[in-house]
Structure 1
Amino acid sequence: MKAVKYVLVTGAIAVTGALSLGAHAQSQPHSGAHHGSSPSPAASAAPAAAEMTEGEVRKVDKENKKITLKHGAIKNLDMPPMTMVFNVVDASLLDKVQAGDKVRFTASNEAGKFTLVDLQPVK
């Protein structure tokens, strides 16, 4: 009986120590300098979200704040190359382009609607 009690107490102490170390590790800032560590999901998502996609303007619909683009793969949306219509956050973005222009853009999925958040003509 004493052996079982000893094993249970030793196990409880080991678990408590492990939990304490885990909580301490989570509270420390992540520098990325540790060997064998990988960047946090937020750190790896930031570059993908900021990465612009190349495309060509097919149609500009200022009245409805929409633009049709033939575009390459949009990595942050996991979308293959295609031609599609995007909503535009800011209608003034449409003043910069016309059908046939080459552009670079950033898009997001806003409540199920693909929305252009940045648009830059390629010179």
Structure 2
Amino acid sequence: MLKKAILGAFALCLVSIAALADGNMVKAEVVKVDKPAGKMTLKHGPIKNLDMDSMTMVFRVADPSMLDKVKAGDKIEFEADRVNGAITVTKIGKGH
């Protein structure tokens, strides 16, 4: 009985963690990709974890290889955070 309760609690924690991770994904359209500068311009929805409204802005990317996966006009989902004081895209996925 205790083993089932512990396994159930563990499964619930995993589901909660997955839900939180997905909560920071933001829908966006790629406006421009600047590989030499390691940046991309995104027209994005609100970024809750950064308390930022929808807008179009330039982002640094955490990994320059991310820029090989997107082109202007692509619809994506992304996560961003402050890295060394700069708002940086930390994760990209194909989206909406």
TM range (shorter): 0.7 to 0.9
The structure with the largest alpha-carbon Rg is 1
Q: CA RMSD in A?
A: 2.3
CA contact (8 A) 1:96 1:121 kept: no
TM-score normalised by L of structure 2: 0.74
Question: Cα offset for 1:94?
Answer: 0.7
Aligned to 1:54: 27
The structure with the largest helix share of the pair is 1
Residues 37-76 of structure 1 mapped to structure 2, 5 A cutoff: 47=20, 51-76=24-49
Question: Cα offset for 1:62?
Answer: 0.7
Question: Cα offset for 1:104?
Answer: 0.1
Ranges of 4+ aligned residues in structure 1 off by more than 3 Å: none
Partner residue of 1:117 out of 77, 90, 96:
90
The structure with the largest strand share of the pair is 2
TM-score normalised by L of structure 1: 0.59
Query: How high is the sequence identity, in percent, across the aligned residues?
Result: 52
Question: Cα offset for 1:49?
Answer: 8.1
Q: Which runs of 5+ in 2 are unaligned?
A: 1-15
Aligned to 2:66: 93
Q: Which runs of 5+ in 1 are unaligned?
A: 1-42
Q: Name which structure has the greater RCO, CA cutoff 8 Å, separation 6+.
A: 2
